[in-house]
Every structure is written in C-alpha cells, then in structure tokens.
Amino acid sequence: MFLMADSATLLGADPDLAAIIARIGPCTLRGDDGQEPYDALLRAIAGQQLHGAAARKIFGRLCLLGEGGSIDGPPPAPGQILSLSEESLRGCGLSGNKLLAMKGLAQARLDGLVPSRAEASAMTDEELITQLITLRGIGRWTVEMLLMFTLNRPDVMPVDDFGVREGWRRIRKMELPPKPKALKEETACFSPWRSTLAWYCWRVAEEGKKTAPNPLTA
C-alpha cells in the first residue's frame, strides 16, 4: 500500500489533493500482486481491448492450459506457450495478434529479455520500460501498470492514461484534460509518490459512474 506517512504528507500539502484525500479516504493501492513479470504481461495481453469480465474469462481459459490446469492457477510457462497449437490458443478466445504477442513474450522470457521479479528489482523504471516496449503487443502503458501493480514501484505517473488525465482535470477544475507532457510537468513535484497520485486520479475520474471501477486500477 503506497499511502504511507511520507506520501500522505506530500500529497496532503496540496489543498486540492487534501480535499480529495479527505473525501475518498486512504489509498488502498496494493503494489505487489505476487506475480512474475512474465505472468503479469501475459495477463495484460489477454485483456487488451476487453472489459474486465471478458478479460478474466479468457485469461482463465489460458490458465487451464497451464501445469495447474485451473482457471485460478498460473498461466502456461514460456515453453508451454511456444508448444501449444494455434488451435488451442484460439480456443481460449485469443485473436491472432494476441497469439503472436504471447508467443513473442514467451520467447523473450526464455531469451532473458523479460526479467524475473528478482532481476527486475535491479532495474530502474525507465530501463524496464525501454526494454519491454520492444516486444510485440507491449506498450508503455502496459509496462507502467506492471510497475505499479506487480513490481510495487511508487513513482509511476501514466500520463497517457485517459482516466488519470480526466481525474487530474477534475482535481484542478480544468476545462479540458491536460496533454500528457503538461501532466508530466504538473505532477513532477509529487515525486516520489506519483503512483499514489495516479490512484487518486482514477478514483476521482470514476466518481459518479454507475459502472464498477476498473479491476486493474482499483
């Protein structure tokens, strides 16, 4: 959980954010989902362009093909992914592009391009982003979510995320959401606790909506 004394003090010193924190309450962002980067990225690929329930269903089917043979178990290991037939993977509900991205991810893990959790701990945020966005189907936002929700990095500001930009617009009472470059500049002063700030932006952007919060960013 990121909202510890230091982050609360820094964010709470800003009057607009102090009001948001008082209204929403303590940050409940858990930065470590216990997954290996490979598993988390495989899940991210499976869920691209899908709503939460559909994404979980497809990823569950993929996990059934893993060694555990359970929808709640781990997904197939890299060697398994590479050995599975296209028919088997498509049977999970995966598109051709996602299938290719998963096989590329699996090969990259075997080649050492996708680090283990232990290896990732020795790399900076930008080093991980630069290395992983070379993979098919993996963009900067996907790696930022990996940093925030799997690798427990406290200072990530996903400036391209619409929810974050919309939340910041509401917090600052702006007419339009800021451009990514402007948002990066405006939030730089909240380093090293920008993951917490992003979490509050998501919560503010979701206020008043009848749909459930995004299961990834909640």
Q: What is the pLDDT along the chain (218 residues), one digit of tens a residue?
A: 444 557 878 999 999 999 999 999 999 998 999 999 999 999 999 999 888 889 999 999 999 999 888 888 999 999 999 999 999 999 999 999 999 999 999 999 999 999 999 999 999 999 999 999 999 999 999 999 999 999 999 999 999 999 999 999 999 999 999 999 999 999 999 999 999 999 999 999 999 776 655 556 65
Whether 160 is catalytic:
no
CB burial class (10 A; 0-12, 13-18, 19+) of residue 93?
middle
**Structure-token pair, residue 68:** 């555990």
Active-site position among 6, 39, 125, 161:
161
pLDDT score for 208 = 79
List every span in the chain annotated with CATH 1.10.1670.40. Answer: 5-30+157-206
Q: For residue 154, give Cα distances in angstroms to 85, 124, 127, 146, 193.
A: 39, 12, 16, 12, 5
For residue 27, the tally of other CB atoms under 10 A from its CB is: 21
- CA torsion angle 117 122 127 132 (round to 10): -20
For residue 109, the tally of other CB atoms under 10 A from its CB is: 24
pLDDT score for 5 = 58
Instruction: Output the CATH code of domain 37-149.
Output: 1.10.340.30
Question: 66 and 74 in contact (C-beta within 8 Å)?
Answer: yes
Question: 168 and 178 in contact (C-beta within 8 Å)?
Answer: yes
List every span in the chain annotated with CATH 1.10.340.30. Answer: 37-149
CATH top class, domain 5-30+157-206: mainly alpha
pLDDT score for 49 = 85
Q: Where are the beta strands (DSSP E) in the chain?
A: none
Closest CA to 98 of 125, 131, 138, 133: 138
